[in-house]
C-alpha cells in the first residue's frame, strides 16, 4: 500500500469515544494501536486530577489535541452564570496543565432562557473568560451544535453563528470547531468554512446514522451514515487546516464493544472514509 493509505499521523481519538476505558487504559490502548493523538474529556481526568493526568500524558508521548469541554454559559440567574465562568477558567487551567492547546466550548442553552438572550449570555461569557485563556496560552474553540440540541446544550447551532461570535470577540484566542456531525446538513457550510479560515482550531468526525435511533449516543462510525466526510475535510484543508482530525463517536453500541476492537475499527474507517 502507498504511504498515504496507511498514514495515521493525523488521527486523534476522543477519550469519550472509548468511554469505558479509564484515561490510563485509553493512553495504553491508543499507544498499542499507533494512534498518535488524544483529546481528553474532563471526566477522564477527574479520577486522577489534572496534575497526575498531565504526568501520564506527558510520559505517553501522545499528542494532546484538545480538552473537552467548557462552555454552558447560559443560565437564568446571574449567580449561575458567574459559576459557569469560574468553571470555564478552571477548565482553561486544566488544559494548560495537561498541555492541551485548545478547549472546546459547548456554549450552553436552557429552555428557560429564550434563544436571543441565550446567545447574548454566550457572547458575554466567552468575552469574560477570554483574558484567562489568553494568559494561559489556551485557545477557545466554539463548537456549533446541531439544532436538535438548542434546548439544553447550545444556542449556537450553525457555523455562521460561531463565526459571528469570533468576529465580534476579535481575539486570536477564540475560534471555531467544525464537527461534521453537527454541521453536515448546513447549506452554507462550505462558505462558512472559507470564512472561518485560520480560526478553525479543531475538526471532529463521525457519521450521521440513518435512521438515528437516539439523540444523545447514536453517532455513527465514519462511512456508516450520510455525511460526506472527505468532502468536508477537503474544505477545511483548502483554507489551511492541518491539525489532527479527531474521531468523536458517542455510541451506546460501540461502547458495548471490546474497546481495542473499536480502535481497530476506527483505523479501518479512517483509511477508507476520512
Residues that bind Zn ion (CB under 5 A): 179, 204, 248
Nearer to Zn ion, 30 or 203 (CB): 203
Nearer to Zn ion, 97 or 248 (CB): 248
Provide the minimum distance between the beta carbon of 243 and Zn ion in the complex, in angstroms, as a whole number.
14
Interstrand relation of 245-247 and 11-14 (parallel, antiparallel or unpaired): parallel
Of the candidates 30, 62, 10, 41, the residue with the CA atom closest to the CA atom of residue 262: 30
Burial class, 5, CB count within 10 angstroms (exposed 0-12 / middle 13-18 / buried 19+):
exposed
Cα 235 to Cα 238: distance, rounded to the nearest angstrom? 5
Provide the minimum distance between the beta carbon of 180 and Zn ion in the complex, in angstroms, as a whole number.
9
Nearer to Zn ion, 35 or 81 (CB): 35
Cα 113 to Cα 136: distance, rounded to the nearest angstrom? 31
Provide the minimum distance between the beta carbon of 14 and Zn ion in the complex, in angstroms, as a whole number.
8
Nearer to Zn ion, 81 or 108 (CB): 108
Quick check: helix, strand or coil at residue 37? strand
Nearer to Zn ion, 21 or 201 (CB): 201
Of the candidates 208, 60, 236, the residue with the CA atom closest to the CA atom of residue 40: 60
Cα 22 to Cα 32: distance, rounded to the nearest angstrom? 15
Provide the minimum distance between the beta carbon of 214 and Zn ion in the complex, in angstroms, as a whole number.
17
Provide the minimum distance between the beta carbon of 205 and Zn ion in the complex, in angstroms, as a whole number.
9
136 is written with which cell numbers? 494561559
Amino acid at each position: 500500500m502507498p504511504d498515504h493509505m496507511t498514514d495515521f499521523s493525523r488521527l486523534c481519538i476522543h477519550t469519550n469515544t472509548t468511554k469505558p476505558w479509564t484515561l490510563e487504559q485509553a493512553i495504553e490502548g491508543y499507544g498499542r494501536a499507533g494512534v498518535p493523538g488524544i483529546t481528553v474529556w474532563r471526566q477522564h481526568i477527574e479520577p486522577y486530577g489534572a496534575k497526575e493526568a498531565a504526568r501520564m500524558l506527558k510520559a505517553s508521548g501522545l499528542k494532546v489535541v484538545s480538552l473537552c469541554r467548557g462552555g454552558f454559559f447560559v443560565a437564568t440567574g446571574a449567580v449561575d452564570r458567574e459559576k459557569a465562568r469560574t468553571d470555564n477558567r478552571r477548565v482553561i487551567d486544566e488544559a494548560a496543565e495537561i498541555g492541551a492547546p485548545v478547549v472546546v466550548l459547548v456554549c450552553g442553552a436552557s429552555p428557560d432562557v429564550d434563544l436571543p438572550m441565550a446567545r447574548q449570555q454566550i457572547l458575554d461569557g466567552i468575552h469574560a473568560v477570554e483574558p484567562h485563556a489568553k494568559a494561559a496560552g489556551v485557545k477557545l474553540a466554539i463548537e456549533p451544535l446541531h439544532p436538535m440540541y438548542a434546548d439544553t446544550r447550545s444556542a449556537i447551532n450553525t457555523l455562521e453563528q460561531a463565526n459571528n461570535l469570533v468576529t465580534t470577540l476579535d481575539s486570536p484566542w477564540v475560534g471555531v470547531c467544525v464537527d461534521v456531525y453537527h454541521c453536515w446538513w448546513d447549506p452554507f457550510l462550505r462558505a462558512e468554512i472559507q470564512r472561518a479560515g485560520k480560526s478553525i482550531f479543531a475538526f471532529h468526525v463521525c457519521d450521521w446514522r440513518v435512521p438515528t435511533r437516539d439523540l444523545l449516543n447514536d453517532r455513527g462510525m465514519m462511512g456508516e451514515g450520510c455525511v460526506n466526510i472527505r468532502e468536508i475535510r477537503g474544505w477545511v484543508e483548502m483554507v489551511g487546516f492541518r491539525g489532527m482530525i479527531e474521531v468523536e463517536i458517542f455510541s451506546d453500541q460501540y461502547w458495548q464493544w471490546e474497546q481495542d476492537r473499536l480502535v481497530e475499527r476506527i483505523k479501518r474507517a479512517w483509511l477508507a472514509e476520512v
